[in-house]
Structure 1
Amino acid sequence: MAEDLGREIGWDDEITSDGNEFTIIPEGTYPFTVLGYERKRYPGGAKMCACNYAAVRVRIDGPDGALGTITTNLYLNEKCFGILSSFFRSIGQKKHGEPLKPQWGKITGAQGRCKVKIRKFTKNDGSEGESNDVQFLDPPEGNPADFNPDAGW
């Protein structure tokens, strides 16, 4: 799991950026590559008990190169078996109707395809915001090299 930890700056160093730019990826069906993941713990809430989860970072690839990065959380809770199954099917680790013991150490660099949607929400300050949601899709029947983002698989 190679994670960008940043670079320390000195007390008197110049601040050269306003921070990471957040890019909304247009809705569509795209190939993706798993960049890495981080193991985290969800404390529990009204709809789900406390559980581990993986914050998975995927690079979304368009016809002219990378469009951006999306982080999606994969909760290790039986309520989320469908989402977990779709992710692992997408990267080729799982088949329909068969059980799977995930091979987390092999997801970095794995490739699949997904559908990206734009989700609108209200920020804490009352203004509107947008973010991307990702739905992982089953691999195509044919050759993955035949992917056409305009026509889908």
Structure 2
Amino acid sequence: MPSSQDATDLSLHWFNRLAYLGVLPFVLGLWMQWSGVSFGYVDGRFLFAAYSCAILSFLCGVWWGGALNAAHHPAHNKLMYLSNGLCLLGWVGLLLYRTPVGLLLLLLCYVFVERMEAYLKPNRRELRSYFRTRTRVTYLVVACHLAMVLLLIAGG
């Protein structure tokens, strides 16, 4: 019978794979924008911004759920307000997706989430791999946002 450690290791293994695979739609949006390919009315810039907003909303939902499940945590109220505020900022970024400003706003939201998680993360050994992966993937996502901004500024 597998131990709980085996289950945790397997869960982290799949988390790591899915986290890195989650960068692929950003890369697809970049490629579509660079090459001028679109799928119907969806161009690379919109795909990129919409996916970015969806993932940011997901991350904010994780904070919301964490706040609901940890009412005793000293940052409980901050997490509730921040999750809603960041989600709304992400939607503003999506509305401004045709401008570099909208994409920079999304980028800043990702940086803020990563910095807050670095500040709030529990110091539990079994979560180190999780947070290490989250940080690396956030850096990749930020790099993709910067690349898209540069592509837009260059006229792509």
Tell me whether the two structures share a fold, i.e. TM-score over 0.5: no
Higher-helix-fraction structure: 2
TM-score range, shorter chain: under 0.3
TM-score under structure 2 length normalisation: 0.22
Greater per-residue strand proportion: 1
